[in-house]
Structure formats: C-alpha cells, structure tokens
Structure 1
Amino acid sequence: MSLFQINEEEVRRQQKEIIRELLEEDGQIGSLWKMERMRIECGGKSAQWVREHVCYHPHVVRNQLAFNSGTDWVFKAKEIIRFLDMYFPDLATNWKNKKELGGC
C-alpha cells in the first residue's frame, strides 16, 4: 500500500505544460518573437540591421515570416529559425546586392 496517491492524468497534463513552455521559450513551437529577441538571435545586430537584412528579405516577405505591428516588428519564431538556418551566412552581405546579381 502506497502512502501517496498519484493522479497520473494530472502528472501528464503538468508534464505537457512544462514541455510546451520550454519549447516556446526555445522558439520551437507557435510563438512569436519581437525585435529584441530577433536581435539576440542575430548575434546582437542592431534593429536597423535586422530590418534591412531580415525583415525586407524576399524570402521573409514572400512567406510572411515578419510583420510590422505598428510599434514593433513581430516574427514567426518557428519559421524564422528555419530562415536563419538557411540564410544567415549570406545575410552578412545585404540581400539587395545579391538580388541585383540574380540571387534570392
């Protein structure tokens, strides 16, 4: 006989909640990032740099990965992570220059 009764359904519910919170914090599921988080993800680049190299990048615009809320930029975290994985090395040079050369 156990001295403790464990409600397994409640334990599972709490585990799911903790896992969801951790994944959101890590930007892996359905969360949105504001400009400050995006600047951190881009290695501390300025908001101006993020706007020029990320917000107006053709891939970001075409796939609606970022939008201006009127007061700040908001990014779809899950999708923008994939974008950064694909394009970050190329973001050192402004995408506008690459477009003129036939890139993007």
Structure 2
Amino acid sequence: MPGLDIKYWGERILFKIIGQVGKGLKVDRATASRERLLYARVLIEIQIGQEFVVTITFQNENGKVMEQRVEYEWKPLVCTKCKGFGHVGADYRKGGKQQWDAKKANEGQ
C-alpha cells in the first residue's frame, strides 16, 4: 500500500484496513520494523475468483474517509475459460485443455 501514513503500520490496523481485500496473514518484516517508509507490505489471502481491488477506503481516527491505493506484487494466472490457476485461455489447444504427459525414460537419449 504505497503512501500509507506510517501511523497505520501496526499489524492490527493494517489487517483491519486490508480486510476489505482479503484476510491479512503476515506483515512484511521491513513494514513491521518501519525500515522502508515508501509503502506498507502485507501478505493477504483472497477468495478464488475475487477481483483484485485497486483502491480501498477507510475511516481514520477523526472520522475522515481515507482512500488508499493497493498494488499487488504477484497475481496468479487465472484461466478465463476454465477458471483454473496456472494457465490462461490462450494455452488451450484445439479440442480442450492442454495436457501434460510424463516424459518417457528413454526419450531424448
């Protein structure tokens, strides 16, 4: 969460804020120790098929509504055809889902 005020960098507060996106699992060591002040980094768990939210809002201690940008370091590949993970629809061959065959012991020798 780039630009998040450092006063919100406590684990409980971060998990409460990021709760709009998913379940907070872990706060980055640099975030917890406030070593890198450009952004707060949190590991989150989200539901399969859930959209990746880019902006969240929360109410600060004074009742003011704050808007926070959310960036993702990594997003899984999600297939638009079968909704499976690790591949995209373009990876399909004619006739269905791409199949991986075990390599035979004598192949390539």
For normalisation by structure 1, the TM-score amounts to 0.25
Q: Which has the higher strand share?
A: 2
Higher relative contact order (CA 8 A, sep 6+): 1
For normalisation by structure 2, the TM-score amounts to 0.24
Q: Which has the higher helix share?
A: 1
